[in-house]
Amino acid sequence: MPSPAARHRDNAPDALSVLNAVFGLPAFRGAQEEIVRHVSGGGNCLVLMPTGGGKSLCYQLPSLLRDGCGIVVSPLIALMRDQVAGLLEAGVKAAVLNSTLTFEEANDVERRLLAGDLDLLYVAPERLLTPRCLNLLGRAKIALFAIDEAHCVSQWGHDFRPEYIGLSVLAERFPDVPRIALTATADDLTRKEIADRLGLADAPRFVASFDRPNIRYEIVEKQNAPTQLKAFIDERHAGDAGIVYCLSRAKVEDTAAALTKAGIPALPYHAGLDASVRARNQDRFINEDGVVMVATIAFGMGIDKPDVRFVAHLDLPKSIEAYYQETGRAGRDGKPSSAWMAYGLSDIVQQRRMIDESTGSDAFKRVSVGKLDALVGLAETAGCRRSRLLGYFGEAVSAGNCGNCDNCLSPPQLRDGKVAAQKLLSCAYRTGQRFGAMHLIDVLVGRLTERVTQFGHDKLSVFGIGSELNEKQWRSVVRQLVAMGHLQADSEAFGALKLTETARAVLKGETDVMLREAPAGARVRASRSKSRRGDLAPRATDEGRHNDAGLQTDLRAWRSEIARKRGVPA
Ligand code: ADP
Ligand code: MG
């Protein structure tokens, strides 16, 4: 008996009736119909649609409508397996060709492909690129090539797979077979890279809205991350399934253990675990209720669990793309969900170090730093997070106020931060741009630590000029100035804060600096500093005028320094 798919093909079906009969779905969603029509008609294209948007149909349906077999390139074996299982259930003749097959099984798949007995074939990229497979495809009738998770082709993306690079051969070897590349995340640069590598420069791009209105974005200052995470889960997601992302394997283990100890069922997942442990943990996460998966980014792609209620980041991802992709695993069922992240200055330093220490080219490092900066900008924005996020992907949010992110729900107070910025920049400058945030804040608030005395920084005019803000507020100022690009945390020098080109204008008072108010806390008092590191009491500072005068001296020094560098008299 012919499969439902084949029956429809015989009756020259239209796309909608195949959608109804084969996939059991009543209607197309968003741009699906247009894409299906375009690809069925033999067109190439690039599809950008968020996770859960329904990308699979965009190539599955045209594969059924066109003659021959649709070849789907997919990076993950689990992803292929799940999709094929679903298709078989719907009566579609689907198969996989990857390293999990025995020689006989692979032979059988090849035979069926040549006999025209397959509607869809999922192939791992490294398999597809073997001479044997390319030769096989040359002899078969191919309906189309679908390149799923196409961002994997981007060297500068967050999920680069070297095997994907070789896929450029498809355009050369099979110029008459339509190619459809699909991804849930690609900023401008990545889109261009996909298009270049897959020969889609002239192909239309279908860009669906990337908005995930049911996800609430929230980014908090990292203080004690494990405690903050536990409070977040207890208060907002008790008993819910969630994913917690950490950068390192050790942190994954520690966090999972801490959550379990606190009565929250949590499992670790990272590449260092035995494959069987990983598989078991993944199964439990998917099949049991309310399991929290603590994982490195090795976990997630292709995990289709609709009721993940939260995604938490304990470390900063690499880019907005990565953040979007990872947070996008929450709430695929459309129900209210959270994307929560705790981050601090040390995260920026850490990511910078990873970029600097990577073996990439200078261009790679430049691009990576740019992507990191954009993410830091998102983390530090006082405006709507969703607008910022979608804006990065070229999409506008109406009125720039989503009503479902922390900043929209409780807008941060903005204040004129010019003087605070000048004090901080000045302090960094006066101490030789060799110190990290901690030390600079000690100097600003007038705390006589061992280091402060050791370097004689208590003798500087900037000592104690910043006691109007507390430590937490200063940290927030530091991060915001880094996000604004006036300060740079030097990863090679353990996070030493250095002034950038634009800092000059701030110091000269030519640039306005609006800062978001850090959550209020007690002002720094002299007694506090005494207890913290057993330092001596700080020298009594006569706040206000005296220190502003000190700052003026500083600014003068800065100006003459600039003048000297430029070779003009101050
Ligand atoms: P993506 O690959 O974009 O993440 P999928 O193709 O896996 O998304 O689809 C996500 C879910 O949406 C699947 O459960 C799929 O059945 C469903 N879906 C796709 N298109 C439609 C549609 N037109 N109507 C209803 N459900 C759909
Ligand atoms: Mg998909």
pLDDT of the residue at 496: 87
For the whole model, what pTM was predicted? 0.78
Q: What is the mean pLDDT of the chain?
A: 87
CB 498 within 8 A of CB 551: no
End-to-end CA distance of the chain: 90
Quick one: pLDDT band at residue 528, thresholds 50, 70, 90?
A: very low
Residue 15: pLDDT over 80: yes
Quick one: pLDDT band at residue 551, thresholds 50, 70, 90?
A: low
Residue 531: pLDDT over 50: no
pLDDT of the residue at 18: 94
Share of the chain above pLDDT 70, in %: 88
Which ligand 1 atom lies nearest to the CA of residue 58? 6
Which helix (H) or strand (E) is 244 found in, with range? Answer: strand 242-245
Centre of ligand 1 from the C-alpha of residue 60, in Å: 11
What integer is the mean pLDDT of 404-417? 93
Residue identifier of the C-alpha nearest atom 19 of ligand 1 = 54
Ligand 2 is an ion; residues with CB less than 5 A from it: 55
pLDDT in tens, 276-327: 999 999 999 999 999 999 999 989 877 879 999 999 999 999 999 999 999 9
pLDDT of the residue at 555: 58
362-380 vs 345-357: helix crossing angle, rounded to 10: 170
Q: SS3 letters for 429-492?
A: HHCCCCCCHHHHHHHHHCCECHHHHHCCHHHCCCCCCCCCCCHHHHHHHHHHHHHHCCEEEECC
Mutation pick for ligand 1 pocket among 20, 22, 57 (CB with most ligand atoms within 8 Å): 57
Residue 567 sits at the vertex; the CA angle it makes with 566 and 568, to the nearest 5 degrees, is 95
The closest ligand to the CA of 79 turns out to be 2
pLDDT in tens, 491-514: 777 778 999 999 999 999 999 999
Residue 536: pLDDT over 80: no
Centre of ligand 2 from the C-alpha of residue 321, in Å: 16
Centre of ligand 1 from the C-alpha of residue 54, in Å: 3
What integer is the mean pLDDT of 433-448? 94
pLDDT of the residue at 494: 73
Quick one: pLDDT band at residue 186, thresholds 50, 70, 90?
A: confident
What integer is the mean pLDDT of 253-273? 96
Quick one: pLDDT band at residue 520, thresholds 50, 70, 90?
A: very low
In 248-396, alpha helices (H):
249-261, 275-287, 320-327, 345-357, 362-380, 385-392
Quick one: pLDDT band at residue 474, thresholds 50, 70, 90?
A: very high
pLDDT in tens, 192-247: 999 999 999 999 999 998 899 999 999 999 999 999 999 999 999 999 999 999 99
Helix count and strand count (H, E) for the chain: 26, 17
For 384, which DSSP code? -
Centre of ligand 2 from the C-alpha of residue 183, in Å: 8
pLDDT of the residue at 300: 85
Coil, strand or helix at 543: coil
Residue 170: pLDDT over 90: yes
Quick one: pLDDT band at residue 33, thresholds 50, 70, 90?
A: very high
pLDDT of the residue at 202: 95
Coil, strand or helix at 134: helix
Higher pLDDT, 303 or 556: 303
